[in-house]
Copies of this chain bind each other. A is one copy, B any other.
Amino acid sequence: MKNEELFVTATLASWKQALLRLDQAFTACTDDDLEREVAPGKNRVRYLLGHLAAVHDRMLPLLDLGARSYAHLDIYIERADRSFDETATPAELRQAWSDVNARLSAGFATLQPEQWLEKHTSVSAEDFAKEPLRNRFSVLLSRTNHAWSHFGQIALLQKR
């Protein structure tokens, strides 16, 4: 493997590990379990499922890997848990989560290692010339960290 490929492969493994742990946690939850708060007065697992699905859905256009499909879930980013009427069912949230991650995985597979260093779509070419770290790779790292921070919270509900 070339050096660029080693850096990207390791980072994708770290992303996939976050998704695997979250998948296991969500699968272990019944729909009733999704209503549990990760701590008293804090987000429910259901909200975090919708939140993570929406954040990952937004990665598709941000990484220039295609259009997103779940813009109606942005309410799980823009509004606090329990502050809005939820129209998405648990089954729909689970499906969105699974679907967006599969689409991201398919998109990632089309990228050569060097393409991870290309700009993401919310930075202009002019700004990117000055700030070369505003690239796809940094988005991947940032979203991986985001996923792990919420995984840590959801893991509090698991039996030791």
Please report A residues at the B interface, Cβ cutoff 8 Å.
1, 3-4, 6-11, 13-14, 17-18, 38-40, 42, 80, 113-114, 116-117, 132-133, 135, 137-138, 141-142, 144-146, 148-153, 155-156, 160
Given contacts A6-B133, A149-B151, contact A141 B39 (CB under 8 A): no
- Complex: how many Å from CA A138 to CA B11? 8
Best-surrounded residue of A113, A117, A137, A148 (most CB of chain B within 10 A):
A148
Inter-subunit contact A149/B155 (CB<8 Å) = yes
Chain A interface, DSSP helix/strand/loop, else mixed? helix
Known: A3-B114, A6-B135, A13-B133. 9 other contacts (CB 8 A): A6-B117, A7-B7, A7-B8, A10-B141, A14-B138, A18-B145, A40-B40, A152-B152, A153-B153
